Chain A
Amino acid sequence: MIERRPLLTAFAYAILILGLIFAIGPLYLVLCSASVSNQQLLSNGIALLPGPQLIDNLQAVARRTDIGRQLFNSLMVSSLVVIGKLALSSITAFAVVYFRSPFRPLIFWTLFATLLLPLEVRIIPTYAVASDLFEPLKTILQSTGLDTLIASVAGIRIEPSLNLLNTYSGLSLPLIASATGTFLFRQFYQTIPPELSEAALMDGAGPIRFFIDILLPLSKTNFAALGTIVFISTWKDYMWPLVVTSQENMRTVVLGMATFLPTESGQWPEWNLLMAAALFAFIPPMIVIALMQRWFVKGLIGVGK
């Protein structure tokens, strides 16, 4: 940067090229192995050059599993989570920043607590809630004795039950609460000069009007950054779809690809098809990264994930 040092430059290039091999070498090998026949893999080992069979293999995967449906499911769930997360985070941040209220600390600490409870540590009880959304309500009614009270007064027993397993809402709802997203918007709203809201108030705009007409257009870059990250991380999610879907037609593409692995019966997997299935799982988010690079980097730093 400041002086010329040919030796250091050469060394740095060597490191960078090694880094390049490290980063995209595995992806290249997957592409190669997805484009040859299984016979060739079994006799020659891993393929180092692309072969002619890529399209055939992709079609073979599409014949074995409903890859179109899986891609659609992934797209659907990721989009729902993006929309839900952006909406909930921006509205909650708006409520926290622009209203004086005794509930502010409550809202803040409630959201903060979610950071302490990743899905992985509460996976089984969360599954229980998803299998019956009203289970918490029922338990509270029962333990407080309210249900017998209602039953004796109104003469009916409250037995609501809503099963979210194998539904899009079940796949996306538990993922749309976001503390980091809310904090991101909160921090952004705090940088907006208060004169803006005062001027809007003077012109007769109510809070909702101010939010929709002034705050939302200003938050465009935040929406793009957070949305990109959320889309990719939801697409990559594996544990929740694994738990919450049992029907094949609700599987996401990452989950569907993992089930392409043969189960423990000593079957020899068709490696070329497995690699072709892996392509389906990582090419779409990769396109998002390549196209939305600026937002992706901004979001990654802002959200920290």
Chain B
Amino acid sequence: MPLALAAPQLLIVFLFFFWPAWKAIWWSFHLVRPFGNGSVFVGAENYLRILGDESFYSSLQATVIFTAGSVLLAIFIALLLAGCVQLNLRGRKIFRHFFIWPYAVAGAALGVMLKFFINPVLGPMAVVNSLWPGLWDPHLNGSEAMLALIFAFAWTQVPFNFVVFVAALQTVPDDYLAAAAIDGAGPVRRFFDIQLPLIAPFAFFAAVINVIEAFTHSFGLVDTLTQGGPGGATNILVYKIFSDGFVGLDLSGSSALSVIMMLCIVVLTALQFHFFSDRMGYER
């Protein structure tokens, strides 16, 4: 009976999760001709080819910069906003309401919007360019494109972090804060010495979720905003897997990349689940 009830979900998981994942692992050890039959077992050759390829390391570097930059920025902004909202000022409900609106904007939609905003001739940066010509041109300058990407992705992650931090701050007992206030600690001191340490596990949890999102869900943003360019400067792993596989039709190489990325996700999910089981009372 229980197996019968769970069967529909298990079938879907098998068809769309396990089978494709197995297929990716299988492809990564074979030389596959795109979407046709016939493949040769080549052992670790695909992996060696990738690990010997310059573009893998530049992609890895771009991924690390993108992830670290956007996650740190998103955590910082959300923490600042949650801390201010928690001061019980008038009108905080209105702020709390609007701060989560960006969650509605899809990465791909944001990419299209930003394409316009970062335009060196039309967008807000046109002012900068009219003063110092050529200072801002993300279509030519890789680090400027990366900067735009980091800000954009942080923008999409702030609402989630904000909600988590506001909930986390509400778990801090008022007594602690009142006692500290009587001892003469001001609001800023209370934030750094009491609230921040107590919500640190939540910040860690949010950060891990952000990193997984940056690894996977950044695809829409990259595809509409930079397409990995200019010159591969924003060609992060998730985009490289897609473009090597679907555009370059290199199934073996793309699959080997997928497997490498799966390993990263395994580590990250282990971290996340460690937190879940401790904090949220999920037993294994």
Contacts and interface: CB of A to CB of B under 8 A. Distances in A.
Given A96-B2, A111-B9, A9 B89 contact: yes
B207 interface: no
Given A22-B155, A91-B8, A42 B104 contact: no
B36 to A, nearest CB: 12
Nearest to A235: B106
Interface residues of B, number: 101
5 contacts: A92-B5, A117-B262, A125-B21, A236-B220, A260-B112
Contacts of B155: 22, 26
B85 A99 contact: no
A133 B12 CA distance: 11
Task: Tell me whether chain A's interface is mostly helix, strand or loop, or mixed.
Answer: helix
Interface in B207-259: 209, 212-213, 215-217, 219-220, 223-224, 238, 241-242, 245-246, 251, 254-255, 258
A12 interface: yes
Given A113-B17, A123-B245, A254-B106, A2 B8 contact: no
Interface in A234-286: 235-239, 242-243, 254-255, 257-258, 260-261, 271, 274-275, 277-278, 281-283, 285-286
A286 B97 contact: no
Contacts of B15: 129, 133, 136
A16 B212 contact: no
A154 interface: no
B122 A126 contact: no
Contacts of B276: 304
B226 to A, nearest CB: 12
B98 A258 contact: no
A16 B95 contact: yes
Interface string B1-45: 111011011101111111111011001000000010000000000
Interface of B: 1-3, 5-6, 8-10, 12-21, 23-24, 27, 35, 77, 80-81, 84-85, 87-89, 92, 95, 97-113, 115-117, 121-124, 126, 155, 158-160, 163-164, 167, 177-178, 181, 186-188, 205, 209, 212-213, 215-217, 219-220, 223-224, 238, 241-242, 245-246, 251, 254-255, 258, 261-262, 265-266, 269, 272-273, 276, 280-282
B191 to A, nearest CB: 10
B199 to A, nearest CB: 13
B195 to A, nearest CB: 11
Interface string A98-135: 01010110010011111111111111111011100100
A220 interface: no
Contacts of A103: 2-3, 6
A261 B23 CA distance: 34
Contact of A88 (B12, B115, B126): B12
Nearest to A274: B112
Interface residues of A, number: 100
B20 A122 contact: yes
A121 B89 contact: no
Given A94-B5, A238-B219, A46 B258 contact: no
A110 B12 CA distance: 11
B106 A41 contact: no
Contacts of A274: 112, 115-116
Contacts of A94: 5
A15 B224 CA distance: 31
A1 B226 CA distance: 45
Contacts of A293: 97, 100
A46 B128 CA distance: 14
B171 to A, nearest CB: 11
B159 to A, nearest CB: 8
Task: Tell me whether chain B's interface is mostly helix, strand or loop, or mixed.
Answer: helix
Given A20-B98, A121-B258, A173-B12, A8 B187 contact: yes
A3 to B, nearest CB: 7
Contacts of A22: 77, 155, 158
A249 B234 CA distance: 31
A183 B87 CA distance: 34
Given A3-B181, A243-B246, A281-B109, A121 B187 contact: no
A24 interface: yes
Scoring B92, B103, B178 by chain A CB atoms within 10 A of each residue's CB, the highest score goes to: B103
A27 interface: yes
A111 B7 CA distance: 12
Contacts of B13: 110-111, 113-114, 177
A45 interface: yes
A301 B276 CA distance: 12
Nearest to A47: B122
A301 B122 contact: no
B79 to A, nearest CB: 11
Given A124-B255, A243-B246, 14 more contacts: A12-B89, A16-B95, A91-B8, A95-B6, A107-B2, A120-B242, A123-B242, A136-B15, A238-B108, A238-B223, A275-B116, A278-B112, A285-B103, A297-B163
